[in-house]
Amino acid sequence: MMIDRYSIALFLVLSFLVGVLDASAGDSDLRYRACVAQCEKTGCVGERCFPHCKFPSDRVAIEGPWYMQEPLYLKWKQWDCHSDCRYNCMIDREKEREALGDGPVKYHGKWPFRRVFGIQEPASVAFSALNLAMHFHGWLSFFILLYYNLPLKQDKKAYYEFASLWHIYGLLSMNSWFWSAVFHSRDVDLTEKLDYSSAVALLGYSLILAILRSFNVRDEAARVMVAAPFLAFVTTHILYLNFYTLDYGWNMKVCVVMGVAQLLIWTIWAGMTRHPSRWKLWVVVIGGSLAMLLEIYDFPPYQGFFDAHALWHATTIPLTCLWWSFIRDDAKFRTSNLLKKAK
């Protein structure tokens, strides 16, 4: 299970039920549109001019080589004349609105964030990086517990039957948070597809893992039979998103079904099992659901940095720690039971 991805699915369901729609009032503002149009002609907003606007549409420099015109640390983020004009016109328009006592509005579906070293949403990037770090710490501590603290079989393998499955889960989680950080750093077609694909892969695998653990499927042949149809579907869906069309509506339905299904599986299992650490599972499930209030009651970024989505990412950090704690407890619990049976 990955609590942030469950939360995504839950949020999509709630949004569908209540009919929440994010209007982008900012990009329909006439003053903003006029500013962008003027900037794309002159390459300047007020006294600020942008080196990106010296590039034509084919990205070939007009005046000398590219390394003479823009910093390398910005080039990789693909900021161009159009995006720079949008950003600076947005910032200026928001200053005007603030002076008039008006609150922030969304532009092209996003709140007006302030860049830091070219990073589009710095708070979300920072919290995504922290989630990545927490998953790495959780996976590493799980690895150390299995192979250095708990008894091993004669072939040096762990007694815990689900060890390899959790190792894969840890790698997929770290991969997903890495691309989440990259996507929030710069929202372009490539980073969007990588973020969506890694999220779908993690959701699909987490569903398989939820089924195998909750039903205590230990036979390898049975595991393959359970996993095969899910792996085939998830792989096909990722290929569809990347090489046919990025259908947001269809992807939403797929994520909702997989996310809600595994959430229900873990919830029912937590209610039926006598696992000594089941309370941790309850806290993670309930805590993740409560964290969704940050997404439902969306609000603009404080000081241009901390919006509801960024704080939602922040709430998943302690939940991730607790979740890996449950996984370690499960390894201890299963190993203890297996050793008792072996005596």
**Residue-level pLDDT at 144:** 97
| pTM across the whole model | 0.83
Task: HSE, CB side, 13 Å, CA atoms: give it for residue 286.
Answer: 8
| Banded model confidence at residue 8, pLDDT cuts 50, 70, 90 | low
Name residue, tokens 């990259």: 182
Mean pLDDT of the region 184-200 = 91
Mean pLDDT of the region 58-63 = 46
For the chain, the average pLDDT equals 85
| Banded model confidence at residue 28, pLDDT cuts 50, 70, 90 | confident
Neighbours of 302 (CB within 10 A): 12
> Which CATH entry fits the domain spanning 3-22+121-342: 1.10.3470, 3.30.1340, 1.20.1070, 1.10.10?
1.20.1070
Residue 23 has pLDDT above 70, yes or no: no
Q: What is the pLDDT of residues 89-120, one digit of tens each?
A: 999 999 998 888 888 888 887 888 898 888 88
Mean pLDDT of the region 40-58 = 73
**Residue-level pLDDT at 12:** 47
**Residue-level pLDDT at 27:** 77
Range of 38-42, 188-192, 219-223, 300-304 with top mean pLDDT: 219-223
β-bridge mates for residue 107, sequence order: 110
Residue 131 has pLDDT above 50, yes or no: yes
Q: What is the pLDDT of residues 292-325, one digit of tens each?
A: 777 667 788 888 889 888 998 999 999 999 999 9
Where are the domains positioned within the chain?
Answer: 3-22+121-342, 26-99
- Is 185 exposed, middle or buried, given 0-12, 13-18 or 19+ CB atoms closer than 10 A? buried
**Residue-level pLDDT at 55:** 47
Residue of 143, 144, 207, 213 whose CA lies nearest to 171: 143
CA distance 21 to 18: 9
Q: What is the pLDDT of residues 226-235, one digit of tens each?
A: 999 999 999 9
